[in-house]
Amino acid sequence: MVKKKIAVLTGAGVSAESGLGTFRDNGGLWDKYDPQEVASIDGYYRNRALVLEFYNLRRKELSGARPNSAHRDIAAMEEKNIVTVITQNVDNLHEKAGSTNVIHLHGELTKVRPEVGVYDDTFSEKEVIDVRYDEVNLGDKAPNGSQLRPHIVFFGEAVPKIDKAIDVIGDCDVLLIVGTSLSVYPAAGLYRYAKSDTPIYVIDPKDIPIRGGNIHHIKATATEGMQEFLKIIETLN
Ligand code: OAD
């Protein structure tokens, strides 16, 4: 049997049932914090201590979170298919659930890198440091002597892995989108790179902002929706 190439684009909603809040739902993170202050490159240079503290809190919260069955079901699809996860999430729950091929569009919470450095479009991975769930504060320096900063794509910065994501989506047989409001570009426009006959399934309990002949909305939470999707994928040839 030829394996299907499944691209899975995920957002904060896939981790909601693991206890990590989303950004734009009522009571979400952007109700409590101003993204221009804590998640933009200008905000970072205005007040590094505040931004480092925000990500220290996120890292601490993540240390207690476990993957849910949606993360596990996505990982389990690798048994019969070629699966690439493209996530906007900075958590590590896809990897913890067993996914082996994860593209982190917006960076990774458990990693930091020097503020000053030369980065190509995949980042200079050797300069990226895994701090797991430790705090990083003002004055914590990289081996090159510059301040350590979160390995996060801030608003106002380029998204280095977008080209890789475009290639994966352009080449996939099925595109699955889980738990994203599709409101932050360029990630929000990625689905347009799917071939016109590629079926697109979107799992989200709310109405979704995209429509089209080949777009199917599974109106459910990530864990419920994945159960449904696993049945659908068996019927697709
Ligand atoms: P949002 O908070 O914008 O959207 C979360 C989506 O998940 C919404 O469509 C919800 O309806 C849906 N949702 C909520 N609970 C769910 C559940 N249990 N199961 C499935 N879906 C659920 O989060 P993102 O779209 O991921 O970027 O946000 C994109 C980017 O904006 C983030 O990566 C982050 C943020 O600013 C940066 O910080 C650079």
β partners of residue 104: 87
Per-residue pLDDT tens digits for 76-110: 999 999 999 999 999 999 999 999 999 999 999 99
For residue 205, the one-letter residue type is: P
pLDDT in the model for residue 2: 86
pLDDT in the model for residue 236: 85
Ligand 1 atom with the smallest distance to the CA of 16 is 18
Task: Determine whether 94 is an active site residue.
Answer: no
Q: Which of 28-37, 110-119, 202-211 has the lowest mean pLDDT?
A: 110-119
Domains detected in the chain: 1-19+67-106+159-237 (3.40.50.1220), 21-64+109-152 (3.30.1600.10)
Residue 122, pLDDT above cutoff 90: no
Pick from 9, 57, 88, 102 the residue to mutate for probing ligand 1's pocket: most ligand atoms within 8 Å of its CB.
88
Q: Which of the following is catalytic: 94, 106, 151, 217?
A: 106
Q: What would the mean pLDDT of 106-127 be, rounded to a whole number? A: 77
Per the prediction, the chain carries an average pLDDT of 94
Residue 37, both tokens:
């202050």
Closest CA to 216 of 231, 127, 78, 135: 231
pLDDT in the model for residue 121: 47
Bigger pLDDT: 188 vs 1: 188
pLDDT in the model for residue 116: 82
CB atoms within 10 A of CB 111: 19
Beta carbon of 106 within 6 Å of any ligand 1 atom: yes
pLDDT in the model for residue 149: 95
pLDDT in the model for residue 1: 75
Q: Which of 1-5, 11-15, 39-43, 217-221 has the lowest mean pLDDT?
A: 1-5
Q: How far is CA 26 from CA 22, 29, 91, in A?
A: 9, 9, 21
Q: What would the mean pLDDT of 169-196 be, rounded to a whole number? A: 97
pLDDT in the model for residue 144: 85
Please say whether the dihedral angle defined by the alpha carbons of residues 24, 105, 217 and 229, taken in this order, is positive or negative: negative
Residue 134, pLDDT above cutoff 80: yes
211 pLDDT tier (thresholds 50, 70, 90): confident
